[in-house]
Structure 1
Amino acid sequence: MKARLPEEAPAGEGARRIDELAAAIRRCRICVEHPDKGRALGHEPRPVFQVARTARICIASQAPGIRAHESGIPFSDPSGVRLRQWLDIDERTFYDASRIAILPMGFCFPGFDAHGGDLPPRPECARTWQDSLLAGLPDLRLLLLVGSHAQRWHLRRRQAPGEFWRLGVNETVRRWREIEGSATAPRCIVLPHPSWRNSGWLKRNEWFEEQLLPELRRQVHALL
């Protein structure tokens, strides 16, 4: 199943179609009824995302955690607090879908692995919905690629030289300037996941706060 949305449509029609697409995603049960390799989602789907045709910034994340799954609100957890700090914006701005889209690689909480960590995003979501959603965002100017799954998927399609999508998240974020300056439109800024589990990495890599975050905030504020 591949949803399609015309790349160019009158604003009113485009808004209606992106709303219809969002409604279809909220009804989606593909990971239960037609799962990849027969591995169905182990709980009831609850897609968590936000989108509107007028969004100029898109946060391409990995998948909702358990708290977002329970609340139905993206990044309604400590990771969201840290991400908003990185962006230097408040909750009202962050959850304004008319300005910021939040489109994870997997729309539903994927469940826990044997060690209690989150499983990877469900693969059905991206290949079914992402292209059509991005085609429905004509004003998109900045993609924030949060975590390895989002970076691999988007950088492969942005055709940035150097095959950055093959790198691990640590090396990708270290080379953020090359990626930000080379990927095709919209511009891309790569970020580690804002999980508090990455606090050690952030302490060891002071350049992230000193160099990347000021540029991230400059671009985000300019578009808002």
Structure 2
Amino acid sequence: MKNRIIDTSLQLFEKHGFHGVSVNQIVQESGTSKGGFYHHFHSKDELLFVIHDYFISYVLNKAMEAISTSTHPTEKMQKMITSFVKVFDLYKPHISVFYQESGYLKPLYASAIKEKREKYKTLLFNLLEEGVAAGEFRPELDRTITGMSILGMVNWSYKWYKREGEKSIEEIAEIYVDLILHGLLTTEAKQDSRYARYFLNNKALT
């Protein structure tokens, strides 16, 4: 029931906007009841927060998993970028509503979302420093500008990505990995056989 309510509200919010949709409409369209709605959500505001929290929690958890299960910075970065890109397919409706309606989040909920976004950014920035210390990432690249460039480039995917497009989300993730690692890695790291599979020219040869 919870997922049905969320799926229905995503469709309604995208079409009519957050303030253009009532709890009664969500209940009616989802074929549930007000009791069922308030069993899962205290309010429509909490529902909007949950929609936002779903995909932000997913990408944050995947980033922490990549960092904790891998040894080398380049491998961690590849996994982190890949999971980041894939979220735009897994949670496309959630992200559309996020960018459309995030201004309506109550301060408490907005703060919780901001905290997770900042935590993700910190993980990325720390990984950039780790890569430089390990001799894998170019030390001359400014950490803040590099990190914000990666976030900005991947985040913009929500503007143009379409599931029915020419490239699958997996193929798009591989392109992002190739672009970012080519700019990020030192000459020596690019020649490391462990990372050859991350570059598209090597995939074309296999």
The TM-score with structure 1 as length reference comes to 0.26
Higher-Rg structure is 2
1 or 2, which has the higher helix percentage?
A: 2
